[in-house]
Amino acid sequence: MNQLSRRERNRLERQNRILDAAIKVFAEAGFPGASMDEIARQAGLSKPTLYQYFTSKEALFEAMMAAPREGMMLTFDDAANPDMVAQLLRFAWSYAETVMRPEFLSLARLIIGEAQRFPDLGRDYQASGPDQVLQGLIAFMEAQRNAGRLVFDDAELAAEDFWGLILSAPRNRALHIPDTDVSRASLARYIHNGLRVFLRAYSAQPDQDLARLDRATVAETAQN
pLDDT in tens, 109-158: 888 887 787 788 778 778 777 888 889 899 999 999 999 999 999 999 99
> Where residue 35 falls among pLDDT bands split at 50, 70, 90?
very high
pLDDT in tens, 46-104: 999 999 999 999 889 888 877 777 667 776 766 556 789 999 999 999 889 888 988 88
Fold annotation for 1-55: Arc Repressor Mutant, subunit A (1.10.10)
Residue with the larger pLDDT of the pair 31 and 212: 212
Long-range contacts of 114-119 (CB under 8 A, 24+ apart): 114/30, 114/31, 114/32, 118/31, 118/32
pLDDT in tens, 43-56: 999 999 999 999 99
Residue 146: per-residue pLDDT: 95
Whether the pLDDT of residue 27 is over 90: the answer is: no
| Inter-helix orientation angle 184-202/206-223, to 10° | 170
Tell me the percentage of the chain whose pLDDT exceeds 90.
46
User: How many residues make up the chain in this entry?
Assistant: 224
Whether the pLDDT of residue 106 is over 90: the answer is: no
Outline which parts of the chain fall under CATH 1.10.10.60: 1-55
Outline which parts of the chain fall under CATH 1.10.357.10: 65-223
How high is the mean pLDDT of the chain? 87
Please give the Cα distance from 35 to 27 (Å, whole number): 12
Helix (H, G, I), strand (E, B) or coil at 150: strand
Residue 80: per-residue pLDDT: 57
Supply φ then ψ for residue 51, to 5 degrees.
-70, -20
> Where residue 1 falls among pLDDT bands split at 50, 70, 90?
very low
- Is there a contact between 42 and 64 (Cβ–Cβ < 8 Å)? no
Residue with the larger pLDDT of the pair 104 and 165: 165
Please give the Cα distance from 88 to 32 (Å, whole number): 36
**Which superfamily, per CATH, for 65-223?**
Tetracycline Repressor, domain 2 (1.10.357.10)
Burial class (CB in 10 A: 0-12, 13-18, 19+), 177: exposed
Residue 78: per-residue pLDDT: 61
